[in-house]
């Protein structure tokens, strides 16, 4: 652990973009020549990662069996990336899951409330799934060794639909109502059978799934059907993890596209409630670019503490309840390499070029480059919440006592740090976002730039204040120019 080393000190006064590919601002009326958004060219194997045609994005059925074909000998780059892509959509890594009968029951019986593939909760139905499951819910280790279970793959959160209707791999699915989805799977079954009792549960959480409960009340046969579906699980019921009221309430309150992973009923609980917005996975700097840019490592996650993409995936496995021993590094690497090939989609209705050009100049003039001068506008440092002013609960993520070591049996891979701070994220593809700041507390760039008021929410973890660089010292026209600049990449 490097602890808090390097925190906060972004070298004041240096307005020059750092890192590979960044040039300099030519000032004096000339065209701005720096391009923080430029990403290195990459061989993506010809895969379709952005398209209006969902089946094309799923490679027309080629994802099925792609890893088997790769490991059996089809060792060209395209085959390797296809394997990585099939893992992105269809691999659970044996992480903790829910009994498959529950999501299947919900999808089958609640077309209005849940929709095929949980589409009413912002997921995307898998057109190849007979059971109408969503992309992102896939088979995992059976519960108690026998009960068929489903868990998340990367696609549940990191595959989304763009505002123009295209699908894009790596898009943060800010429409995904993760909290409600989980309440439907974990709380609803406890209440919907004739044995259920809403009095022992959090009222807000119950309200979030009330439309489902109302249906069961109106159609008692549904409750009976659910009971029959759940009966075979009785033997595994000792394995149902606790879901205390306080945790239930958080699930009910999270906005779509936001969540906490270290909380019940998930395998680890860090005893601090933090809210994380789903990140985009577009043009993550690879080790070569990290070094050229002067980054200390990959700086992944909102706290910037995860030192490599490989470590990030390993921790997804181990902290999600999977067995890392089953996942030697070489088996994970095709996924890692595939993620490096993802690029942000072009904005097909870009703002006027002259406005974006003025915004680019302002981005340098107004000091944004000081913290957003690295690859794709990311920062090279981790900052304190005192400096940035955004909600500070995340500062205690995985380490509520600020000891410098993870609490609660949480273990990170060698090289990763607990920073207690916040990184400045990459800024590519923001035109497709509907959540801003690390906790998703701000819903538009207009609001981030205070063209629409913000800063009134003070409830811990949900606070929507801070990062006033996008508000103070800028007039409305300058704000619109800066927004145009950001939305044009």
The answer for residues whose C-beta is within 8 angstroms of residue 168's C-beta and 6 or more apart is: 49, 50, 159, 160, 161, 162, 345, 432
Of these, 67, 205, 272, 422, which contacts ligand HEC (CB under 6 A)?
422
Site for ligand HEC in 40-69 (CB under 6 A): none
Tokens of 383: 């900052």
Of these, 150, 192, 309, 319, which contacts ligand HEC (CB under 6 A)?
309
Q: How far apart are CA 159 and CA 174, in angstroms?
A: 10
Tokens of 155: 């696609």
Q: How far apart are CA 62 and CA 342, in angstroms?
A: 18
Nearer to ligand HEC, 213 or 369 (CB): 369
Which x/- pattern, by CB under 6 A, does the window 333-362 give for ligand HEC?
A: ------x-----------------------
Which x/- pattern, by CB under 6 A, does the window 165-204 give for ligand HEC?
A: -------------x--------------------------
Which x/- pattern, by CB under 6 A, does the window 117-156 give for ligand HEC?
A: -----------------------------------x-x-x
The answer for residues whose C-beta is within 8 angstroms of residue 68's C-beta and 6 or more apart is: none
Q: Does 432 bind ligand HEC (CB under 6 A)?
A: no
Q: How far apart are CA 375 and CA 298, in angstroms?
A: 11
Of these, 121, 222, 313, 360, which contacts ligand HEC (CB under 6 A)?
313
**DSSP secondary structure, 316-332, as one string:** HHHHTT--GGG--HHHH
Q: How far apart are CA 192 and CA 194, in angstroms?
A: 7
Q: Does 85 bind ligand HEC (CB under 6 A)?
A: no
Nearer to ligand HEC, 126 or 226 (CB): 126
Of these, 314, 370, 487, 489, which contacts ligand HEC (CB under 6 A)?
370
Q: How far apart are CA 266 and CA 133, in angstroms?
A: 21
Place of tokens 């490991």: 71
Report the candidate in 127, 126, 177 with the shortest Cα–Cα distance to residue 153.
Answer: 126
The footprint of ligand HEC (CB under 6 A) covers 10, 152, 154, 156-158, 178, 259, 276, 278-279, 281, 284, 300-302, 309, 312-313, 316, 339, 363, 366-368, 370-372, 383, 387-388, 390, 422, 424-425, 427, 430, 436-438, 448, 467, 469-470, 482, 486
């Amino acid at each position: 652990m490097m602890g808090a080393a390097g925190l906060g000190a972004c070298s004041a006064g240096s307005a020059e973009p750092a890192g590979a590919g960044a040039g300099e601002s030519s000032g004096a009326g000339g065209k701005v020549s720096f391009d923080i958004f430029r990403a290195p060219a990459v061989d993506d194997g010809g895969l379709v990662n952005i398209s209006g045609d969902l089946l094309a994005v799923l490679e027309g059925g080629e994802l099925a069996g792609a890893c088997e074909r790769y490991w059996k000998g089809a060792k060209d780059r395209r085959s390797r990336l296809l394997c990585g892509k099939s893992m992105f959509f269809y691999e659970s890594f044996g992480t903790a899951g829910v009994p498959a009968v529950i999501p299947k029951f919900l999808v089958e019986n609640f077309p209005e409330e849940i929709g095929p593939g949980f589409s009413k909760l912002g997921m995307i139905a898998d057109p190849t799934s007979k059971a109408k499951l969503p992309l992102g819910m896939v088979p995992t280790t059976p519960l108690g060794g026998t009960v068929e279970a489903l868990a998340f793959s990367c696609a549940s959160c990191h595959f989304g639909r763009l505002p123009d209707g295209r699908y894009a791999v790596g898009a943060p699915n800010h429409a995904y109502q993760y909290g409600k989805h989980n309440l439907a799977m974990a709380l609803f079954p406890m209440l919907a059978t004739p044995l259920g009792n809403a009095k022992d549960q959090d009222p807000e959480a119950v309200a979030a799934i009330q439309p489902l409960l109302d249906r069961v009340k109106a159609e008692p046969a549904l409750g009976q059907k659910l009971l029959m579906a759940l009966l075979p699980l009785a033997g595994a019921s000792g394995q149902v993890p606790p879901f205390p009221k306080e945790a239930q309430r958080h699930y009910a309150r999270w906005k779509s596209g936001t969540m906490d992973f270290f909380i019940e009923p998930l395998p680890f609980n860090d005893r601090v409630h933090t809210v994380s917005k789903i990140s985009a996975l577009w043009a993550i700097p690879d080790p070569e670019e990290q070094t050229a840019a002067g980054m200390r490592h990959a700086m992944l996650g909102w706290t910037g503490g995860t030192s490599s993409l490989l470590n990030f995936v390993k921790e997804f496995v181990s902290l999600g309840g999977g067995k890392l021993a089953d996942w030697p590094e070489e088996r994970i690497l095709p996924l890692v390499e595939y993620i490096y090939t993802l690029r942000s989609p072009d904005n097909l209705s870009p703002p006027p070029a002259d406005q974006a050009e003025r915004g680019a100049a302002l981005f340098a003039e107004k000091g944004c480059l000081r913290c957003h001068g690295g690859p794709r506008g990311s920062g090279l440092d981790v900052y304190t919440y005192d400096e940035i002013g955004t909600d500070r609960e995340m500062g205690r993520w995985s380490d509520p006592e600020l000891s410098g070591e993870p609490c609660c049996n949480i273990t990170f891979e060698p090289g990763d740090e607990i920073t207690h701070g916040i990184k400045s994220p990459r800024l590519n593809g923001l035109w497709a976002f509907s959540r801003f700041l690390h906790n998703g507390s701000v819903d538009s760039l207009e609001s981030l730039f205070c063209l629409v008021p913000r800063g009134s929410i003070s409830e811990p973890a949900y606070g929507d204040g801070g990062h006033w660089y996008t508000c103070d010292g800028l007039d409305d026209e300058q704000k619109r120019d800066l927004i145009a600049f950001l939305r044009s990449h």
